[in-house]
A and B are shown apart, each in its own frame.
Chain A
Amino acid sequence: MERNEVRPDRPSGRSVVQRMVSEIRKGLGGLQREGFRQVWKLGSAEAIERAVVSRQPLWTDKRADGGPFDIVGDVHGCADELQTLMGKLGYAVAWSTADGVRRPTVTPPEGRKLVFVGDLGDRGPNTPDVLRIVMAMVAAGTGYCVQGNHDQKLARFLAGRKVTPSHGLQQTIDQLAADGADLKRDLPAFLDGLRSHLWLDGGRLAVAHAGLKEEMIGRASGAVREFALYGETTGEIDEYGLPVRADWARHYRGKTAVVYGHTPFLSAEWLNNTLCIDTGCVFGGKLTALRWPERELVDMPARQVWFEPTRPLAPPPGDGRTAQSASDDVLDIEDVTGRRWVETAMRGRIVVAEENAAAALEVMSRFAIAPNWLVYLPPTMSPVETSPRDGWLERPEEAFEHYRRRGIAEVVCEEKHMGSRAVVALCRDAAAARARFGAFGEETGAVWTRTGRAFFTDAATTEGLLARLRTAADAAGLWEELATDWLLLDAEIMPWSAKAGSLIEGQYAPVADAARAGLTAAREALARGAARGLDLGALDLRFAQRAARADRYAEAWAPYVWTVAGVADLKVAPFHLLASEGRVWFDADHAWHMGLADRLAATGDGVVAPTRWRRVDLADEAACEAAVAWWEALTAAGGEGMVVKPLAFVPRGDKGLHQPALKVRGSEYLRIIYGPEYDAPEHLVRLRERGLGGKRNLAIREFALGHEALRRFVASEPLRRVHECVFAVLALESEPVDPRL
Chain B
Amino acid sequence: MFLSLATTYRPATELGFLLHKHPDRVHEAELPFGKALLFYTEATAERCEAALVLDVDPVGLVRGSGRGDGLLDQYVNDRPYAASSFLCVALNKVLRTAMNGTCKTHQALADATIPLEAVVAPLPVRGGGEALVRRLFEPLGWTVTVTPVEPATPPAGRSTRYVKLNLAGEARLATLLAHLYVLIPVLDDAKHYWVGDDEVEKLLARGAGWLDAHPEKDLIVRRYLKHRRALARTALERLDPEAGDEPEREAVPSPEAVLEAPIRLHDCRLDAVATALAAAGATVVADLGCGEGKLLRRLVRERWPVRLIGLDPSLRELETATRRLKLNEPGGPPEGRVTLLHGSLTYRDQRWAEADAAALVEVIEHIDPAQRPLVERVVFGEARPRTVVVTTPNADYNALFETLPAGAMRHPDHRFEWTRAEFAAWSDAVAAAYGYRVAIEPIGDVDAAHGAPSQMAVFTR
Contacts and interface: CB of A to CB of B under 8 A. Distances in A.
A366 B366 contact: yes
Given A511-B81, A517-B81, A331 B40 contact: no
Contacts of A555: 153
A672 B76 contact: yes
B191 interface: no
Contacts of B73: 739
Counting from the closest, the 3 A-B pairs by CB-CB distance are: A365-B344, A675-B75, A517-B122
Interface in B124-144: 124
A529 B315 contact: no
Interface in B398-417: none
A534 B344 contact: no
B164 interface: yes
A678 interface: yes
A683 interface: yes
Interface in A492-535: 507-519, 521-522, 525-526, 528-529, 532, 534-535
A686 interface: yes
Interface string A677-717: 11000010011000000000000000000000000000000
Interface of A: 329-337, 358-359, 361-362, 364-367, 369-371, 440, 454, 507-519, 521-522, 525-526, 528-529, 532, 534-537, 539, 550-551, 554-555, 557-558, 561, 672-678, 683, 686-687, 739-740
Given A509-B152, A532-B40, 9 more contacts: A366-B344, A370-B368, A440-B373, A510-B124, A522-B53, A525-B2, A557-B153, A677-B58, A739-B74
Contacts of B314: 362
B161 A510 contact: yes
B346 A525 contact: no
Contacts, number: 203
Q: Which residue among A364, A515, A551, A558 has the maximum number of chain B CB atoms within 10 Å of its CB? A: A515
A370 B76 contact: no
Contact of A518 (B26, B63, B82): B82
B149 interface: yes
Interface string B74-110: 1111101111000000000000000000000000000
Contact of A534 (B24, B151, B152): B24
A440 B372 CA distance: 11
A518 B122 contact: yes
Contacts of B43: 532
Interface string B292-325: 0000000000000000000001110000000000
Interface string B1-32: 11010000000000000000000111000000
B189 to A, nearest CB: 14
Contacts of B345: 365
Q: Which residue among B24, B158, B371 has the maximum number of chain A CB atoms within 10 Å of its CB? A: B371
B371 A370 contact: yes
Given A333-B343, A534-B26, A675-B58, A509 B77 contact: no
Given A366-B313, A508-B76, A517 B39 contact: no
29 contacts: A330-B374, A330-B378, A333-B344, A364-B344, A364-B346, A365-B347, A366-B344, A370-B368, A507-B74, A509-B158, A513-B122, A513-B160, A514-B78, A514-B122, A514-B149, A516-B150, A517-B162, A517-B164, A518-B83, A518-B121, A521-B1, A522-B51, A529-B51, A534-B39, A537-B26, A675-B58, A675-B80, A683-B59, A739-B73
A412 B59 CA distance: 34
Interface residues of B, number: 66
Given A336-B347, A365-B313, A521-B2, A513 B151 contact: yes
Nearest to B158: A509
Contacts of B315: 358-359, 362
B218 to A, nearest CB: 27
A537 B25 CA distance: 12
A528 to B, nearest CB: 4
A405 B164 CA distance: 55
Nearest to A525: B51
Interface in B19-68: 24-26, 37, 39-43, 51, 53, 57-59, 63
B350 A334 contact: yes
Contacts of B192: none
A512 B152 contact: yes
A519 B39 CA distance: 16
A333 B342 CA distance: 10
Contacts of B75: 673-675, 678, 740
B228 interface: no
Nearest to B120: A521
B200 to A, nearest CB: 29
B83 to A, nearest CB: 8
Contacts of A532: 40-43
Contacts of B58: 675-678, 683
B330 interface: no
A361 B81 contact: no
A678 B57 CA distance: 10
Contacts of B164: 517, 521
Q: Which residue among B43, B76, B313, B366 has the maximum number of chain A CB atoms within 10 Å of its CB? A: B76
Contact of A361 (B40, B74, B82, B342): B342
Contacts of B83: 518
Q: Which residue among A371, A454, A510, A686 has the maximum number of chain B CB atoms within 10 Å of its CB? A: A510
Nearest to B371: A370
B379 to A, nearest CB: 11
Contact of B37 (A365, A539, A674, A687): A539
B76 A522 contact: no
Given A365-B346, A554-B152, A518 B81 contact: yes
B382 interface: yes
A492 to B, nearest CB: 21
A419 B58 CA distance: 26
B82 A514 contact: yes
B2 A522 contact: yes
A714 B57 CA distance: 51
A196 B75 CA distance: 67
B374 A519 contact: no
Contacts of B373: 329, 370, 440
Contacts of A675: 58-59, 75-77, 80
Contacts of A440: 370, 373
Nearest to B315: A358
B260 interface: no
Contacts of A739: 73-74
Nearest to A457: B415
Nearest to A513: B160
Given A515-B81, A528-B41, A675-B58, A686 B344 contact: no
A333 B153 contact: no
A495 to B, nearest CB: 13
A558 B158 CA distance: 15
A701 B311 CA distance: 31
B193 to A, nearest CB: 20
Contact of A369 (B25, B39, B63, B370): B370
B377 interface: yes
Contacts of B80: 515, 675, 677
A512 B381 CA distance: 53
A652 to B, nearest CB: 36
B40 A529 contact: yes
A519 B41 contact: no
Contacts of A337: 342-343
Contacts of A516: 149-150, 152
Contacts of B74: 507, 739
Nearest to A690: B63
A312 B339 CA distance: 42
B214 interface: no
A330 B353 CA distance: 15
A613 to B, nearest CB: 29
Contacts of A507: 74, 76-77
A673 B74 CA distance: 9
Contact of A511 (B42, B78, B348, B371): B78
B332 to A, nearest CB: 24
